[in-house]
Amino acid sequence: MVEMASKYTAEIPEAILEQASVWHARMHDSDLQESQGCQLKAQFNTWLLADPLHRVAYDDMSSLWDVLTHSELSENDLILEPTVQKTFIKRVSRPFYAAVASVALFVAIAGVGWQQNWPLRLQSDYYSNVGEQKVVQLDDNSEIILNTNSAIKVNYTKQLREVVLLQGEARFNVAKNSERPFVVNTTQGTVTVTGTQFNVSLYSDSATVSLFEGSVALTSNQARKLRKNLSANQQAKLFSTGIGAVSEFDAAVVNAWQRGQLVFYSAALSEVVAKLNRYRKGKIIITDDSVNNLQISGVFSINDPDAALEMITETLALKQTRLTDYLVMLH
């Protein structure tokens, strides 16, 4: 079942909401130099004090961003009616209503910026767009296949071959060189090999490493003394604070994206949604924790993630709330 967000009358003009969106993006740019940051903060404070509505609009955008990144919105935090009329908002007893009502404008300004992290892309040597896959050939004849919305940085020296997976998922086919290790660094930990084939899928809180052939050594970022080795057909999750249990995996499932498919066997809804989010512009969030662990099995095309979303919604008897085509809430 699909519902659409309610209409609101105006107290905050669209122009101010637009300014708030832009300022929020600027103030959360992690790549700013210290001198730039000080100057920007002074300009931001000037804008903030120029009109009381500036603070209201900025706070609403901050609340909205928190929901988009943490997916903690409850169904009860929304007022729902059948159609969308205006993107203006009315300040009501719960400040969050205003943030939700202004999401259409926010999306129009931010576009697909939720996924396409431009500061991160500027750090990268290679990246793929949403829905795109890209093959990267390196100087040593190693090959990296980037899945949708992924980015890597390459640093080759005479002693070491280093690749940083900044975002997304990649298949690594590494040319053998025992004297020149190949290292994949992520936000969660490190994968070290000399020559092998493996897949790394990076999420905000973990990285899943699946080994097809050869051997790899896993190291956690904050627990450097903790090390685990994987053999062919084994996988494990890397966390910044440790390494998960080693288990066998189904190569057909892990490789499915290279065939244009997503394959799930009794997968939790939260896992399925996290993967679907990589293939569509915008964001799907689960607003009811009680459905997170509902299980899904099926084969879906990565070329039509919305069809997969509709099928999952119907199969699990869920409801959809579409604030725009770019933001879908499941509950």
Q: What is the pLDDT along the chain (331 residues), one digit of tens a residue?
A: 554 433 332 467 767 876 776 677 677 654 555 656 677 888 889 989 999 899 988 887 777 666 555 544 443 333 333 333 333 333 433 344 444 444 444 544 444 444 556 667 778 999 999 999 999 999 999 999 999 999 999 999 999 999 999 999 999 999 999 999 999 999 999 999 988 999 999 998 999 999 999 999 999 998 888 899 999 999 999 999 999 999 999 998 999 999 999 999 889 999 999 999 999 988 898 988 899 999 999 999 999 999 999 999 999 999 998 877 778 889 9
**Distance from C-alpha of 86 to C-alpha of 107, rounded to nearest angstrom:** 14
**Distance from C-alpha of 25 to C-alpha of 257, rounded to nearest angstrom:** 32
Residues composing the chain: 331
One-letter amino acid at 191 equals: V
Q: How many CB atoms lie within 10 A of CB 293?
A: 10
Which pTM value belongs to this model? 0.68
**Distance from C-alpha of 105 to C-alpha of 10, rounded to nearest angstrom:** 13
Sign of CA dihedral 22, 23, 27, 28: negative
The DSSP result for 118-145, as a single string, is: HHHHHH-SEE--TT--EEEE-TTS-EEE
Which pLDDT score, from 0 to 100, does residue 17 have? 73
Q: Which helix (H) or strand (E) holds 17?
A: helix 14-27
**Distance from C-alpha of 302 to C-alpha of 159, rounded to nearest angstrom:** 39
- The answer to whether 150 and 137 have CB atoms below 8 angstroms apart is no
**Distance from C-alpha of 40 to C-alpha of 32, rounded to nearest angstrom:** 9
**Distance from C-alpha of 286 to C-alpha of 331, rounded to nearest angstrom:** 6
CA neighbours closer than 13 Å in the CB half-sphere of residue 178 = 1
Q: How many CB atoms lie within 10 A of CB 15?
A: 9
Which pLDDT score, from 0 to 100, does residue 122 have? 78
Q: What does the longest C-alpha to C-alpha distance in the chain come to? A: 67
Q: Which domains does the chain have, with CATH numbers?
A: 2-110 (no CATH), 118-253 (2.60.120.1440), 260-330 (3.55.50.30)
DSSP designation for 176? P
